[in-house]
Amino acid sequence: SENKTEAKAISLPISRVRLIMKSSPDVSSINQDALFLTTKATELFVQHLALTSFNNRSQTEANTLNYSDLAKTAEESDTFHFLTDILPKKILAQDYLKSLEQMQDEDSDF
């Protein structure tokens, strides 16, 4: 059936995915089916992350998927929460400096 034809085709190179998997400690060997499934799952993940982030974007009028949309999704979603370290929310340097000043003021009150 046509759905199945779409389902089988993968675009990501299995060899590259295998390289990443092998860099994981304690992994001795990976069978061919597991390799295929991980590759396919990664593609599904990319689609899911992109679409979820786009749908949750704060600038709803914008027609662009931005980095901030991804960071927002990582922070607010349970399933994507494991990404918060690599997708941190960004703040403007001036805002950071301001909050630093505030903290220093609070300290000086003692």
Partner 1 sequence: MAERPEDLNLPNAVITRIIKEALPDGVNVSKEARRAISQAASVFVLYATSCANNFAMKAKRKTLNAGDVLAAMEEMEFERFLEPLRDALEVYKKDQRGRKEVSEQKRRDKERKADSENDKSREEEEEEEEEEQQRMEEEPEEEAEEEEDDN
Q: Two tokens at 66? A: 């931005």
CA distances to 21, 30, 31, 32, 45 from 26, in Å: 10, 12, 15, 18, 24
- Fill in the amino acid letter for 68: S
* Residue 96, both tokens: 């950071």
CB of 88 to partner 1, least distance (A): 10
Per-residue binder mask for partner 1 (CB under 8 A), 87-106, x = binder = x-------------------
Q: What residues make contact with partner 1 under the rule CB under 8 A? A: 3-5, 7-8, 10-13, 16-17, 19-21, 23-24, 26-34, 36-38, 40-51, 53-54, 63-67, 69-70, 78-79, 82-83, 86-87
